[in-house]
Structure formats: structure tokens, C-alpha cells
Amino acid sequence: MSHPGVKELQFIINPKAGVVSGLLQKPENSKALLVLAHGAGAGMWHKFMNDTAAGLAERGVATFRYQFPYMEKRIKRPDSEAVMLDTVRAAVAAAQKLSDGLPLFAGGKSMGGRMTSLAASHEPLAGVRGLVYFGFPLHAMGKPGAERGAHLANIDIPMLFLQGSRDGLADLNLLRPLCKKLGKQAELFVLEGGDHSFHMLKSARKSDEQALSDAVEKAAQWMLAR
């Protein structure tokens, strides 16, 4: 599978975890580069990932998407947390080599964003100026709680949360106070009527495409302001 303007490549995580694939989408007018991890159930070629990368490219933000090993091997069960954190770090290192000095950001969709945040909370991601979460999964479906966000306090770079108001994995009554507690480090952008994947209610009078465009526009502005 290939798209114009998208370069396919591979990088090694470590000798045990092996090699995974990545996609570099870097328009000529790039002013920043976002290392973008996929969610739990779909890989880097998923429509959400394609549309997000394309939207960011139109706004002067390059992306480096990549696979976690389980997705590369087409296994349904996600890798161990340790393997996924190693993958995040390896992807950031690979992206840095491809960046031509562009300001570097990292994040991802759902689980990919959370794994990026966990990696950054353990040890700063080299060269990364900020983290962008497309639907941060604060808790399991139907089990509201903020424990999964406790590590965010250990991150010392700015974070942008792009969340649907109906996100079943992030109750805004829990996410809002969490972001407030993080202070200037965190900004929350809410898509009214959107769910975890920014799918909109008809009553919102906004298409799914427009909602994602709004999220991408916010993300691009936020990164380019840094």
C-alpha cells in the first residue's frame, strides 16, 4: 500500500523486539514533525491516521507514523508495555534522524498517545518539544477513573489533549480537573458531540471530517506556536 508523498521505511527497536515499519510524510514546506503512534485496534494505515497525517501535511506539519511490533506481525494482542515504550523511543530516534532539524513533537491516537506519554514520563524523549494526544484513553470503557493519568505529572514538556465530549474512555469530569492540575503544561481542546474517534452526533451539525479537520488545525497551530 502506498500513497503519493509518503515514504515507507523500517527501523529497529532493539535486537529482541526486531524491526518495524514507518511512514514519513514530509511536505516541502514542513515547519515541524510529529511522531504519530496508532491506537490499539488499527495500525498506521488506518483511515484516521491517513487523514490526520494528510491534514497536518496541508498545514506544514510532517509526520512519522509507525507500527508497534504486534501490529506489524498482525497479532491482535498488544505488546507488553516495555516493548511499546521501547518502540516509542526508537521511533522518536528514527524520526529525529529524518527531521532535517525540524522541531520535533510526539503523540498518537488513543493507546499510541498514552504509550508516548508513559515513555516521556519515565525519561524525557530526546529533542521532543511537546506531546499531542488524539483521544487520550484515561480509563477503560464504563470504568471511570483517573489513575491512568497519574504519570502525566512527571512530564515536563507541554501537552495538548484533543478529546470528543462523548469520549467513553475519557470522562471530561475527570479529564478537565486533571488538565487543570497539570497547569500550563496541559491544554484541553474539546470537540463537542464527538466520541473517542471524533465520530459526531447528527445533532452536532458537524461532519466527522470537519471534526477531525478542527482537531488537526488545533494540533498544527499548537505545534507551530512552539
Query: What are the structural domain ranges in the chain?
Result: 6-224
Displacement of CA 10 from its chain's centroid (Å): 19
| Helix locations, the chain, DSSP H | 47-58, 69-72, 81-98, 111-122, 172-182, 208-224
pLDDT tens digits along 80-104: 999 999 999 999 999 999 999 999 9
Mean of pLDDT values over 122-130: 97
Residue 3: what pLDDT? 62
Q: What pLDDT sits at residue 36?
A: 98
Instruction: Render pLDDT for 27-45 as a digit per residue (tens, 0 to 9).
Output: 999 999 999 999 999 999 9
Question: Is the Cβ–Cβ distance between 97 and 91 less than 8 Å?
Answer: no
Give domain 6-224's CATH number out of 3.90.420.10, 3.40.50.1820, 3.30.70.3400, 3.30.930.10: 3.40.50.1820
Name the percent of the chain in helix, strand, coil, to the closest 5. 40, 25, 35
d(CA 136, CA 149): 9
- Residue 207 and residue 117: Cα distance in Å, rounded? 29
Q: Which of 199, 191, 206 is nearest to 160 (CA)?
A: 191
Per-residue model confidence as pLDDT tens digits over 109-123: 999 999 999 999 999
User: What pTM was computed for the model?
Assistant: 0.96
Question: How much is the pLDDT for 135?
Answer: 98
Q: What is residue 149's predicted lDDT score, i.e. its pLDDT?
A: 97
CA distances from 121 to 13, 81, 118 (A): 19, 13, 5
